[in-house]
Amino acid sequence: MSRLTLAQANTIIAAALERGAEIGLKPLSVAVLDPGGHLIAFQRQDGASTLRPEIATAKAAGALGLGVSSRTIGEMAADRPSFIGSLGPISPKGVLPAAGGVIIVDGEGLPIGAVGITGDTSDNDEDCALAGIAAAGLTPQE
């Protein structure tokens, strides 16, 4: 298994949005990327603002670009804001330092894609990303 299928990506998105509805979150936007950072599937709920596709994508793309979750990138940014800030201009899809971007790995720990969610608090965004990954029977990078 080297990359997520479209069916898996759709399952992740449906489950993430279901989780968001269940816990009463604001409108969410969910991007699922292949391991090279290219979009497989995306959905933006009604009422979500216009930059959400780029934010959701940047959470996932930044995670794949650096090899860690966007939560960890957020922690790095707290310590070294200029370092993380310098990555935006050199990353085609940006690097977003806030939770909600999670790498998905195969049995050997290699990336097979990533999910990025935005719309509510970043903790809630990440909660939905993890719910989506679990619903698809897949494994987030630890």
Chain residues in the site for a second copy (CB under 8 A): 2-3, 5-6, 9-10, 34-46, 48-55, 57-58, 62, 64-67, 74, 77-78, 80-98, 110
Task: With residue 133 as reference, give the H or E element that holds it.
Answer: helix 122-135
Q: Which one-letter DSSP state was computed for residue 91?
A: S
Are 29 and 45 in contact by the 8 Å Cβ rule? The answer is: yes
Q: Minimum distance from CB of 117 to a second copy (Å)?
A: 14
Q: What's the farthest any 2 CA atoms get from each other in the chain? A: 39
Say how far apart CA 21 and CA 124 lie, in whole Å: 11
Task: With residue 81 as reference, give the H or E element that holds it.
Answer: helix 81-85
Q: Minimum distance from CB of 13 to a second copy (Å)?
A: 9
Query: Which of 5, 22 has the CB closer to a second copy?
Result: 5
Backbone angles phi, psi at 29, to 5 degrees: -125, 135
Q: Minimum distance from CB of 142 to a second copy (Å)?
A: 15
Q: Minimum distance from CB of 98 to a second copy (Å)?
A: 5
Query: Which of 23, 51 has the CB closer to a second copy?
Result: 51
Query: Which of 22, 49 has the CB closer to a second copy?
Result: 49
